[in-house]
Amino acid sequence: MGADLAMIAFTWDDEFCDEGPTRDKPMEMADSAFRTIRALECHDIIVDKNDRYAVAMRDILQRVRQLSPDYLANQWVDSVRHWFFIEIQKASNVARGIRPNLSDYVVTRMHTGATPTFMLNTQIANGLELGPGLLFDRRVNALMELARTVVNWSSDCYSYFKEAERTADGYNIIDVLMDTHNLSVEAAMAMAFNMQDRMLMRFVELRDEVLNGPHDKGAEIYIDALEEYTIGGILWCQQTQRYRFIDGTTSGRLAYTASGFTRQARGNELSEPIDIPTIAWWWQVGERADQYGRR
């Protein structure tokens, strides 16, 4: 199920988003998204057997419904709707030549590329029905957003050189940092990885705090799933041919050589807050919130 969703997500992304003919045509993208969402809403039948994306997404939803209760299956449909909405918003900005500011971009990137749906899959695949004590714990909410952001941050960094040649539209964290701080590519890349290190450290801090204190049943499994999602996502970004080569094949020019992982965290022992308004709240929850100056 996860592998099939990945194939659909990347294919839809290539056809309609970053490199497709509708990347700057939000109305055409919305038309495709509308039909797919309706196919999921009335999943009992196949609305249009010739709409390959709608049929494929419905097929995955049928499996989701076999693995999870109805409310989770409905959340899965809503997550796809959210993904499409953000992609249409992004396309509308590209069409108007609007480059995102840093605070807005981080939120946009948190939801593009089917990220909300992939995140929900971690819950469905583990057979978890998260209780309100976990779902409404702001530390766990921060862990969810950190996992999303770290993986997509990696995608931006490792795909940058390919995207810079093929689809330079400003929707990459490296471009945004260059625009915001008037940086070179090298300096923006260093800043992006520094921020990612701080996010990873904050993830570890909040993870340990939740698991070392009283917590709901299923917390260990869910947080472990978030951790595996994060590690696996970074590793995929480092190793995939999609990013390592400019044309996506091993016969093309090499875009980068992956640095791998380190056993020792870089930087300070404790995470440092990142001065971006839309994610500053990650450092305003949990035991160390007062240390950062709760607003």
- With b meaning 16 or more CB within 10 Å and e meaning fewer, what string describes 270-286? ebebbebeebeebbbbb
- Residues 34, 85 within the same domain: yes
CA 94 to chain centre: 19
Q: Does the residue 112 lie in any domain?
A: no
For residue 293, what pLDDT is reported?
56
Residue 77 φ then ψ, to 5°:
-60, -45
Phi-psi region of 212 (alpha: psi -120 to 50; beta: other; left: phi over 0): alpha
DSSP 21: T
Task: Give pLDDT tens digits along the chain (295 positions).
Answer: 889 999 999 888 888 877 767 667 788 889 989 999 999 999 999 999 999 999 999 999 999 999 999 999 999 999 999 999 999 998 899 889 999 999 999 999 999 999 999 999 999 988 888 888 888 899 999 999 999 999 999 999 999 988 888 766 789 999 999 999 999 999 999 999 999 999 999 999 999 999 999 988 889 999 999 999 999 999 999 998 888 888 777 777 887 777 777 766 666 666 889 999 999 999 999 988 877 755 4
Q: Does the residue 192 lie in any domain?
A: yes
Those residues whose C-beta lies under 8 Å from the C-beta of residue 27, and which sit 6 or more positions away, are none
- Residues 190, 84 within the same domain: no
Q: How many domains does the chain contain in total? A: 2
Residue 113 φ then ψ, to 5°:
65, 30
> pTM higher than 0.85, yes or no?
yes
Look up the domain containing 68 and give its range.
1-100
CATH number at residue 175: 1.10.600.10
For residue 260, what pLDDT is reported?
73
Angle, helices 26-41/52-67, rounded to nearest 10 degrees: 40
* 273 neighbors 142 (Cβ within 8 angstroms): no
- Residues 174, 245 within the same domain: yes
